[in-house]
Amino acid sequence: MLFDYTQEGQRKWAKYFPKCGGYWQSPIILAASRSIALPLPALEMIGYRNLLAPLLVFTNNGHTVSLKVKNEFTKDRIPYIFGAMLNKNQEYELESFHFHWGVKNGKGSEHLLHGIRYPMEMHLIHRNMKYKDLSTALQYEDGLAVLGIFFQLQEDDNEQLKPLIAHLPAIQSANTETRLNTTMTLASLLPPQLDTYYTYKGSLTTPPCNEVVTWIVFTSMIPISYKQMSKFRVLSNGKGIIADNYRNAQVLGNRKVYVRRIQSVLRNKNDMDYLDVSTLKWYWT
């Protein structure tokens, strides 16, 4: 898929991929002042503590580092999610995950949180299991749920990231791949707190930009050292380095953004169950 992240290149996305000019595009700016705070249900994450080796295939596709779970290598269920404001009684299975980062420390993430762009953002793509495959899910508004997680720089290495970082030299060149040769869990790639998240309806952030995504973006972040971050910044796209591979923030339009807030007066489970998320609307009318 031919596209680039330069300012000029992004302006051409809608010309070659018409869905990129839609009204409900991603990413957006997330802020408490622009969101509706409610005691929403927690996101349930099943199988995130299962050991994945040798289930992950790492790929440098010229735009990012992508990791895909190969279910033919396991008898266990692929990790999946449900809850939050996802459709009731529907489960979303992990398809793959990838990263967006910047050349400099003050940019890289696709979503902005309170006006801040973080050095990197990870997206975990989950397919609604009522659809047989990803290409089918891309045709329906409830097809995908994507988790967005920010990275925050620190001096010391994040030990949990070492298995992933160690494989990056093997995919230095564009269109190369390697397989995980050590144990790792998806839980090791998650931030310490998952209580607070923003959620809204949006799109893929790369062409063809299908508007089929329920976004869930966490406010707690994953630490990453300057040294570890530098390993992403030397990967090749075939012409140079993969640099600033993030899309510009898109117009929110008539969409609602919800933020999960568990207030002290609502910590009782019965009080929280009183909120019927099926009555909540995603758009202003």
Q: Is residue 226 part of a domain?
A: yes
Q: Is residue 132 part of a domain?
A: yes
* DSSP β-bridge partners for residue 45: 81
Q: Which residue has the tokens 């209580």?
A: 195
10-residue mean pLDDT series, the chain (285 residues): 91 97 98 96 95 81 91 71 95 97 96 97 98 97 98 97 94 94 87 96 98 98 98 96 97 98 58 78 95
Catalytic residue among 63, 98, 100, 167: 63
Q: Is residue 285 part of a domain?
A: no
At 161, give phi and psi (nearest 5°): -85, -10
At 230, give phi and psi (nearest 5°): -65, -25
Q: Is residue 175 part of a domain?
A: yes
Q: Is residue 201 part of a domain?
A: yes
Q: What is the pTM of this model?
A: 0.94
Distance, in Å, from the CA atom of 89 to the CA atom of 2, rounded to the nearest integer, reads 37
Q: Judge whether 63 counts as a catalytic residue.
A: yes
Let me know: does 67 contact 241? Beta carbons within 8 Å. no
Range of the domain at 104: 7-279
Q: Is residue 284 part of a domain?
A: no
Q: Which CATH number goes with the domain that contains 127?
A: 3.10.200.10
Q: Is residue 1 part of a domain?
A: no
Distance, in Å, from the CA atom of 110 to the CA atom of 99, rounded to the nearest integer, reads 10
Domain count, the chain: 1
